[in-house]
Amino acid sequence: MKPGQSALVWTLALASVAHAQTADSTEYGKERSYPWIAHSSLDVFYLHTPAEPGRPFPYQASLYQGFTIQSLSFAWFHIGLRSRETYVYGFEDPYREPMVLKLQGSVEILPDLAYASLGGNIPLLAGKLSVEDTLPLYQALNGYDPFPSPDFLSPQALQIAVFGRYAWANWTAMAGSAYVRETLFRGLPGASFYPAAYFDLFGRAIFQGAAARHRIDVRASLYGDEENADRIPAHLEGNLYQLRYEWLKSLRKVGWQLGAGAAGKPPDRNRRIMLKSDLVAAARDENLQRAYGEAALTWVPSPGILWRLHVLPKAIFSWNGEQSGYEAETGISVGLKVWEYHRVRATGTVLMGALDGKQYLGFGIHAEFAFRHLGVQDLDDGPEPAEGG
């Protein structure tokens, strides 16, 4: 999922549970307290690629602790603390962010129709890199990367989102927009820069048919200039366009999900590589196009357990034919209801792919625990495809 999507998904999820929980939350809260969720998660991803002498394989790891409270019937607030470490090829040492503070608030503007969200991340302990790491850092931030969370290297400093939803008959329409500004990257003293800010425009249409549900998603991420610490433009990032269709059907304890999508990113303009010396033009444009399919099978043998198997094959290519490859992700998830209200979820994934003739194999683990007060429902609607990076 693209970083800018999180505000919209967050707002949508909170909105979807607000009215379902109003009676329980209001009555119970008068006597005791407001509903809240304590969320803990761990993410680890290891990528086995053609080895470079004396260098470890790429990896990333993240530990997150968050707390969400519905302080009013129409407002929600979230605070979290993340510690993460990322290594990409070319780094002398891993890039570490020991402590990043996340703050976010969401509010219902019009009951069950319009919502807004404001938040961002504040690096309390920023990471450092050597001069030799500048080029691989820039390539990791701007080129295609199989990492599931490439934004680990550059958290969002500001995220403003608005979202609307309207339902009639068998149709539900949703649309939103978000502005995302990345944090100032301080890897090198005197050579800091801002990755490109962007606007996310999002739309979704859902049709509930007699036999199955159909869902269409469209998204456009419109990038601005990348700038150095003095706000001097370095290059203009190519925009990102995404289209996705899903067919969903459930029967008793089993659910099926089939879909297909594509992500296209035109060439950047005035691409420059940020070095400590003068800016140097890149040899080629590294933006890649992706077309993918998806399939998922969900099984709920009892109200307290859910199993999900997903497959995500992907074709990767450039318009000029300089780069091409493929990628396939397979994963299995289990969700458990613990002590009536609380949730545990774990996902294991295997990633196989090749790009420009170089094969890679990745392994990922995601584990989370949500301790809920007043039985607030899940804050997401299931794993999203690892697309849009």
Positive or negative, the CA dihedral 182, 381, 330, 245 is negative
Summarised one tens digit per residue, pLDDT across range 156-178 is 788 999 999 999 989 999 999 99
For range 287-314, the mean pLDDT: 93
What string of DSSP letters covers 102-147?
EEEEEEEEETTTEEEEEEEEEEEE-----GGGHHHHHHHHHS----
CA geometry: angle 174, 177, 183, nearest 5 deg: 140
Q: Find all residues with CB under 8 Å of 232, minimum gap 6, and list them.
A: none
For range 302-317, the mean pLDDT: 93
Residue 310 pLDDT grade (very low, low, confident, very high; cuts 50, 70, 90): very high
The residue written with tokens 């509903």 in the block is 35
Side-by-side strand order, sheet with 225-228: 193-194, 225-228, 233-236
Query: Would you give the DSSP letter of residue 269?
Result: B
The residue written with tokens 């003293």 in the block is 189
Residue 109 in contact with residue 115, Cβ under 8 Å? yes
Q: How many helices and strands, by DSSP H and E, does the chain display? A: 3, 21
pLDDT at 181: 86
**Which residue ranges form the domains of the chain, and what is each CATH number?**
5-373 (2.40.160.40)
The encoded tokens of residue 122 equal 């504040």
Distance CA 379, CA 323 (A): 38
Distance CA 367, CA 385 (A): 17
pLDDT at 20: 33
Distance CA 15, CA 315 (A): 35
Q: Which of 93, 77, 95 is nearest to 85 (CA)?
A: 95
The residue written with tokens 């269409």 in the block is 216
Q: What are phi and psi of 331, to 5 degrees?
A: -150, 160
pLDDT at 285: 57
Residue 234 pLDDT grade (very low, low, confident, very high; cuts 50, 70, 90): low
Amino acid occupying residue 218: V
pLDDT at 183: 74
The encoded tokens of residue 90 equal 């070319």
Q: Which of 126, 223, 139, 219 is nearest to 181 (CA)?
A: 223
